[in-house]
Amino acid sequence: MHIHILGICGTFMGGLAAIAREAGHRVTGCDANVYPPMSDQLRALGIDLIEGYTADQIGLKPDLFVIGNVVTRGNPLIEALLDAGSPYTSGPQWLSDHVLQGRHVLAVAGTHGKTTTTSMLAWILQSAGLEPGFLIGGVPQNFGISARRGTSKFFVIEADEYDTAFFDKRSKFVHYRPRTAILNNLELDHADIFADLAAIETQFHHLVRTVPSQGRLVVNAREESLARVLERGCWSEVQRFGARKEEPGTLRARGEPDAFDVLRGSLKIARVEWSLLGEHNQLNALAALAAAEHVGVAPDAAAAALARFQNVRRRLELRGEVGGVKVYDDFAHHPTAMHTTIAGLRRKIDQESARPGAAPTRILAVFEPRSNTMKLGSMKAQLPWALEEADLSFCLQGNYGWDAAAALVPLGPQALVADSIDTLVVQIVKACRSGDHVLVMSNGGFGGIHGKLLEALAARR
């Protein structure tokens, strides 16, 4: 079968393309913007990429067009294929029909931490010899790829609540029908399609409805929003995690984020020692352990696998160091994720700074409000809180319809705004000094700012 994928360079659609190619299909695709790491991964698989959505692509005459949710009515190719009566489907529906049928699906849902937790879970199952398939919205360094079909009955998937396609406004995850589902956290996001938190809770309730009675829901005990979801109906076993104090049967952590015991009630069942930062990753680990246990992986074996977990590209990924200045790349783009990422890095460097003879260190946070939610300005009031633990903050002012400088006024002179990446680079390099940690946060390519910063720092020397 020849399938032509619209929006192929998105993390989900790119992963789907890789799985389809592995299954023996001929795969081509197009996208408005082609950038790494997905473009590199697709080209390495021999998948032809077309820049843009030109109507003449209808002449490729594929057996099926698979349409990503980034593509809307009015798009030239969409209008052409509709006029021609060409066969089409959504990415989640294609995956459900051709890959997930008859398999034990382990789905990871939540506003934050989906990619990291899905990667952890896939790695735990791989380490246990279960050879799972997976589709992840990033590139786990343990695997070096974001997706594979797998050779066993198990399939691990990042379960996104965003809508499916222009013709299917259900959340993607309702197509997956998991037997094991992690509900990691839940707060308002995707303000472009959800009016409020209650609307997202409804979609999570729809996901809960698809889990069989012999399935398992792994649920964050700290989230009131998830408690409301379960109150609307629950027909499966529930394993709670993350309680701040002892609760019978609930998993919790005791210790620092990089070295902690896993407790069920008062009983220690495993110990995790690894290199990841932050309490958020500690919670992610508990969720992954609980989900893996549902398919027979003992907690101590799962913890041993996590000790070898190498995280995901673009999760506090060190891109380079020049003159004592470290430049990191991180996918954070929601205020809560930004706050959590900065807090994790702050904890790490404060520990390092406490060592005798250590140089003083600062965090310079660099971000672009690129997601649809952030562009709308619905969360601009949270930005000062998101950045409060950074020493300096730098924001790219795009065509958002709101003033980033005004939103950052509470941070005073600690926040600078620029209307171009080149100006932003000049501002950052001027402020940098040896020992600084420059944390770049975006859910896109950010115009290659990481490389530009490293080049400018080298030129300054």
Distance of alpha carbon 250 from alpha carbon 272, whole angstroms: 17
Both tokens assigned to 436: 């600084």
pLDDT in the model for residue 224:
95
pLDDT in the model for residue 33:
79
pLDDT tens, position by position, 169-178: 999 999 999 9
Res. 356: pLDDT tops 80: no
pLDDT in the model for residue 6:
97
Q: What is the bridge-based pairing of β-strands 237-241 and 2-6?
A: unpaired
**Which has the closest alpha carbon to 420: 453, 447, 454?**
447
pLDDT tens, position by position, 329-349: 988 878 888 888 898 888 878
CA distances from 179 to 214, 235, 314 (A): 8, 12, 29
Residue pair 404/397 in contact (Cβ under 8 Å)? The answer is yes
Angle at 127 between CA 47 and CA 24, to 5 degrees: 25
**CA atoms within 13 Å, Cβ hemisphere of 280:** 23
User: Which CATH superfamily is 102-306 part of?
Assistant: Mur-like, catalytic domain (3.40.1190.10)
Phi, psi of 48 (to 5 degrees): -75, 130
pLDDT in the model for residue 375:
72
pLDDT in the model for residue 358:
60
**Which residue shows structure tokens 């919205």?**
137
Distance of alpha carbon 303 from alpha carbon 143, whole angstroms: 18
Both tokens assigned to 28: 């081509």
Res. 357: pLDDT tops 80: no
Angle at 193 between CA 187 and CA 195, to 5 degrees: 60
Residue pair 127/140 in contact (Cβ under 8 Å)? The answer is no
pLDDT in the model for residue 289:
98
CA distances from 253 to 250, 350, 359 (A): 10, 22, 32
Q: What is the bridge-based pairing of β-strands 325-330 and 317-322?
A: antiparallel
pLDDT in the model for residue 57:
97
**Which residue shows structure tokens 């003992």?**
298
**Percent of the chain with pLDDT strictly greater than 90:** 68
Domain ranges of the chain: 2-90, 102-306, 317-460
At residue 410 the predicted structure's pLDDT band, cuts being 50, 70 and 90, is very high
Residue pair 169/162 in contact (Cβ under 8 Å)? The answer is no
Does the domain made of 2-90 have the CATH classification 3.40.50.720? Answer: yes
Both tokens assigned to 70: 């980034």
Distance of alpha carbon 330 from alpha carbon 441, whole angstroms: 5
Q: H/E element holding 425?
A: helix 421-431
> Quick count: other Cβ atoms within 10 Å of Cβ 101?
10
Q: What is the bridge-based pairing of β-strands 147-148 and 104-109?
A: unpaired
At residue 460 the predicted structure's pLDDT band, cuts being 50, 70 and 90, is confident
3-state helix, strand, coil in the chain (%, to 5): 40, 25, 40
Distance of alpha carbon 254 from alpha carbon 245, whole angstroms: 10
In the chain, the N- to C-terminal Cα span, in Å, equals: 55
**Percent of the chain with pLDDT strictly greater than 70:** 97
Which residue has better confidence, 52 or 38? 52
Distance of alpha carbon 397 from alpha carbon 155, whole angstroms: 40
What is the average per-residue pLDDT within 372-379? Answer: 75
Q: Which of 52-56, 65-69, 201-205, 274-278 has the lowest mean pLDDT?
A: 274-278
What is the average per-residue pLDDT within 5-21? Answer: 93
Name the CATH architecture for the domain at 317-460.
Alpha-Beta Complex (3.90)
pLDDT in the model for residue 137:
87
**132: CB partners within 8 A, 6+ apart:** 106, 122, 125, 126, 150, 152, 154, 155, 156
Res. 260: pLDDT tops 70: yes
> Quick count: other Cβ atoms within 10 Å of Cβ 102?
7
Q: Where are any strands of DSSP class E within 225-312?
A: 237-241, 251-256, 259-264, 267-273
pLDDT in the model for residue 241:
97
pLDDT in the model for residue 361:
86
**Which residue shows structure tokens 């250590």?**
358
**287: CB partners within 8 A, 6+ apart:** 108, 113, 117, 182, 184, 218, 220, 241, 242
Q: What is the DSSP letter of 142?
A: T
Distance of alpha carbon 400 from alpha carbon 387, whole angstroms: 19
What is the average per-residue pLDDT within 221-249? Answer: 95
Distance of alpha carbon 96 from alpha carbon 175, whole angstroms: 6
Res. 353: pLDDT tops 70: no
At residue 359 the predicted structure's pLDDT band, cuts being 50, 70 and 90, is low
Radius of gyration of the chain (CA): 22
**13: CB partners within 8 A, 6+ apart:** 5, 6, 7, 29, 66, 68, 91
At residue 268 the predicted structure's pLDDT band, cuts being 50, 70 and 90, is very high
pLDDT in the model for residue 400:
83
Res. 193: pLDDT tops 80: no
Is the omega angle on the peptide bond into residue 369 within 30 degrees of 0, that is, cis? no
**Which has the closest alpha carbon to 288: 313, 312, 318, 324?**
312
Which residue has better confidence, 11 or 255? 255
Q: Which of 11-15, 16-20, 125-129, 312-316 has the lowest mean pLDDT?
A: 312-316
Three-state DSSP class for residue 245: coil
What is the average per-residue pLDDT within 357-376? Answer: 80
What's the mean per-residue pLDDT of the chain? Answer: 91
pLDDT tens, position by position, 113-164: 899 999 999 999 999 999 999 999 888 989 988 899 999 999 999 999 989 9
